[in-house]
Structure 1
Amino acid sequence: MRLVHRRGPPDDLSPEERTIATEIEIADSFLSRARGLMFRRSIPDDYALVFQFETPEDRDLHMVFVPFAIDAVWLVGTEVTAVKRLRPWIGLGHNVADTVIELPAGAADDIEPGDTVELVDE
């Protein structure tokens, strides 16, 4: 499985594509969602933590007990609704999403609202 970024809207017939992450972790339980990246010392450069939900709602992230910066990407479907760099310990972010992705700081530098990001099984 890999996480793929495509520049431009979902209906673009020839999008620019790049792989953001190949080490994917799905936070699919109450405990894994509550813990997120807390208490970890670092994450690999090709890592993504993916939170998937049933419906788009306001989704909040905090950086309490996370000692390194991350990039957060909020999606509705596969379309990016927001991207934000969250600072260690004190960062906060929120936006409407049905999927939220946490990446190493810098991994989402060229991702913008309106682009698409999706998990691809291979």
Structure 2
Amino acid sequence: MRVVHESGRVLATNVDTADSLLSQGLGLMFRRSIPDDYALVFRFGSQKRRSLHMLCVPFDIDAVWLCDGVVQRVTTMRAWTGHGAGVGDTVVELPAGALDGVEAGDRVTVEG
């Protein structure tokens, strides 16, 4: 699996999905770090407001909210204290800086 920007730039090749209630609740909590090519994908069945927190996450991340593959919001969230929310049917968490140059209205695809 991989995460790709419409420009063809590969944002992540080491991709996990948070597909259970437990994995969605834990997210990146209690991990010491993530690889530079990593993404955690949260797929939901509908478009609605989704929130993220950085409690027990000791490193900064980038997050993107997607509706049918179209970027709704991109933000960098700070370790331990960050919080973000946006509308989406998919949310992707990546290492800080991975989403540089990605903006609302762009297309981001989770392939595979």
The normalised TM-score by structure 2 is: 0.98
1:111 maps to 2:102:
yes
Instruction: Point out where structure 1 has 5 or more consecutive residues left out of the alignment.
Output: 7-15
Percent sequence identity is 56
Partner deviation per Cα, 1:39-66 (whole Å, 9 max, x = no partner): 0000000000000000001000000000
Aligned residues: 112
Give the aligned CA root-mean-square deviation in angstroms. 0.6
| Largest Rg, 1 or 2 | 1
Instruction: Point out where structure 2 has 5 or more consecutive residues left out of the alignment.
Output: none
Q: 2: distance between equivalents of 1:61 and 1:32?
A: 13
Q: 2: distance between equivalents of 1:25 and 1:67?
A: 19
Shift of 1:35: 0.3
Shift of 1:120: 1.6
- Structure 1's consecutive aligned runs of 4 or more residues displaced over 4 angstroms after TM superposition are none
The normalised TM-score by structure 1 is: 0.90
Shift of 1:99: 0.3
Shift of 1:92: 0.4
